[in-house]
Amino acid sequence: MALIVQKYGGTSVGNSDRIKNVAARVARYRAAGDQVVVVVSAMSGVTDGLIKMAREIMPLPSEREMDMLLATGEQTTIALTAMALQSIGVRAVSLTGAQAGIVTDGVHTKAKIQNITPRKIHEYLDAGQVVIVAGFQGQTSEGQITTLGRGGSDLTAIALAAALKAGLCQIYTDVDGVYTADPRVVATARKLEEISYDEMLELASLGAKVMQSRSVEFAKKFGVVFEVRSSLNDNPGTIVKEETKNMEDVVIRGVTLDKNQAKVTMVGVPDRPGVASRIFNALAGAAVNVDMIVQNVSHGAGVQATDLSFTVDKPDLLKAQKVIESLRAEVGYTMVSADEKIGKLSIVGVGMRSHSGVAAKMFETLAREGVNIDMISTSEIKISVVISLARGDAATKAVHAAFLG
C-alpha cells in the first residue's frame, strides 16, 4: 500500500466522459489498496473562457480578482471528479487549495507556495477517502485566494507529494512520457524510461512542452521522484529523478528543436566596458526574455567593434527591436538585423560530462547534412545551436540518428 499523488491536466478532465475515465483509473489504484490524492486542473478551455470574460469587463483586470475568478475553474473540476468517483462506489471528497492547506505568498497570479499543512488531507485519507485537490491555487496566510501561474497544477501535485511524503507522484498528460525527440518529427524517437531532473529541466526550458521548469526545479529541490505518463492508456511513462551513476552511460538523453525563438544581431557594437550590460539591462527592463547570447570580434576599420547576437522569444521580438533602436545613439552600433526564421537545436544529457567529443560530433553531423550553424551555446549538460528554421526538422533527424539511432 502506497500513498500516490496523481495529477490530471485540463485535457484529461476536458468533459464528463474524460472525468469518468480519470475516476476509473483512480478506482483501480484504490482497489489495489493504495491511498490516492488526485490533483486536477480546470477543464480545458475553461480558464481561457474566464480570462475572456474578464477582458470583456476590463482590458487589464486586477490580479487579485483574476485569482478569485480563475480559482473557480479548478473548483468546478474537483467537485465533478469527486462525484465521478462516488458514482462508481469510491468514497471521495474534494478540497480547494485553501482547504488542502496550501499556503502561498501574496503575489497574485504567480504566487509561490510557502508551506503546506495537509492535516485535512491526512484525515480524509485515514478515513478511507480519495482526496481530490484543486491544482493551481492556494491562499495566503490572511485568507486571500491566490493562483500559482502557468504549470501551477503540476507544482501543486509535486508540492503535495513532498508534504505528504508520497511513495509515487504521477503527472498524467496527453503524451506517453518524455521522448528522445519529437516523435512527429523523428520516426525513431523512443520514450525514455528515466531522466534526471537536470536533463528534464534543460528539456523543459528548451521547448519540450511536457512540464514547466519551475515544477521540475521544485521536485529537484525536495527530491520528489515523479512519473510523466499518459491518461489515455496504461503504458508506463518516464520517471524523473535524481541523477544516478548509470545515467552517465547514456551520452545524450534527447534532441529538441525550439521554433519559438528569434535572433537579433547588432553589428559594429563599440567594444568598451559596460556596453553589453547597458543593452541587456534595457532589454530586461522591458521584460524581454533573452536566451542565447553570442559575441564575436568584428574586424571593422578604426574603432575596435564587435558583433553581438542574441535570441528572444518570438512574441518579444518587436519589443526587443524597439529597445535596441532606442539605444542607437547612446551605444553607437552600425546596424541591427533580426531573423524570425531560426530554430534552436539542442542535445541534452548528463553523459556529456564524462564523454568527450560530443560537440564535435554534433557539428560534424550538421556539416555533413549541409546545415549552417549561426550561433552556438553550451552548458555542462547541453549543446544548443541556432540554425535555419527551414532545415530544423532535417537537422533534428540527423542529430538524433547520430547519437540515438
Give me the residues that bind its own copies (CB under 8 A), please. Answer: 16, 19-20, 50, 53-54, 56-58, 61-62, 64-66, 68-69, 71-72, 75-76, 78-80, 82-84, 86-87, 93-94, 96, 99, 120, 143, 145
CB of 12 to its own copies, least distance (A): 15
**218: how many CB neighbours lie within 10 A of its CB?**
20
**44: how many CB neighbours lie within 10 A of its CB?**
16
- Give the span between the Cα atoms of 18 and 5, in whole angstroms: 19
Q: Which amino acid makes up residue 402?
A: A
Cβ closer to its own copies: 76 or 298? 76
Cβ closer to its own copies: 41 or 365? 41
CB of 157 to its own copies, least distance (A): 19
Cβ closer to its own copies: 64 or 319? 64
Q: What are the C-alpha distances in Å from 362 to residues 7, 293, 294, 357?
A: 37, 20, 19, 9
CB of 63 to its own copies, least distance (A): 11
Cβ closer to its own copies: 94 or 173? 94
CB of 212 to its own copies, least distance (A): 24
Cβ closer to its own copies: 99 or 295? 99
Residue 12 per-residue DSSP state: G
**384: how many CB neighbours lie within 10 A of its CB?**
23
Cβ closer to its own copies: 16 or 260? 16
Say if residues 192 and 238 touch (Cβ distance below 8 Å).
yes
* Sequence-separated (6 or more) residues with CB below 8 Å from residue 162: 116, 218, 219, 222, 223, 224
Say if residues 181 and 191 touch (Cβ distance below 8 Å).
no
CB of 102 to its own copies, least distance (A): 13
CB of 275 to its own copies, least distance (A): 42
- Give the span between the Cα atoms of 118 and 298, in whole angstroms: 59
